[in-house]
Homo-oligomer: A and B are copies of this chain.
Amino acid sequence: MRALASIATRQGVFQVRRAIAEDVAHILELLGDDPIGSLRETGADERTAAAFVAIDADPNQLLIVVVDGWEDVVATMQVTFIPNLSRNGTLRAQLEAVRVSAELRDLGLGSALLRWVLDECRRRGAGLVQLTTDKRRDGARRFYEAHGFVASHEGMKLELG
């Protein structure tokens, strides 16, 4: 899989690329590797494999991984492009499942990845980027605010029984 971008940090050079099926287990490990995620993430199985197929087939989904020099997955993010009528038909981009591996957190990789993603959203014509972040995630809100995001909305969730 061709790299979409290179990110140079003090820890080395990382490659950004679209996720492939073989990345799913590694993405799930990243998603599960924190106090909130560990409560709800399980390993790769037929459900996550089917979800990957649906993501990969949808031109409005961009599931990305960042890999290090050994091709290990060290960060991930899913971008969903949402066409809509609001704000004079402004295309929205939504970020979900943003995660950087624990040993590389707060060292600049996440910021560099976010900057690249915002450029990519702009390139695709998005005029608004949105995300929700769990109120328990200390630091995440400040991270996004440092990149210009405004916590103007309540993010509400409902689990369907």
Interface residues of chain A, those whose CB is within 8 Å of chain B, are 24, 27-28, 31, 40-42, 45, 47-52, 54-55, 58, 60-61, 63, 78, 80, 82-91, 94, 96-97, 118, 121-122, 126-136, 141, 144-145, 147-160
State the majority secondary structure of interface residues on A.
Answer: mixed
Q: Is the CB of A155 within 8 A of B155?
A: yes
Residue among A41, A91, A132 with the highest chain B CB neighbour number at 10 A: A132
The answer for the CA separation of A68 and B147 in the assembled complex, in Å, is: 44
Minimal beta-carbon separation of A13 from chain B (angstroms)? 26
Copies of this chain, how many?
A: 2
5 cross-chain pairs, A with B, having the tightest CB-CB distances, nearest first? A153-B155, A51-B89, A54-B83, A132-B153, A47-B89
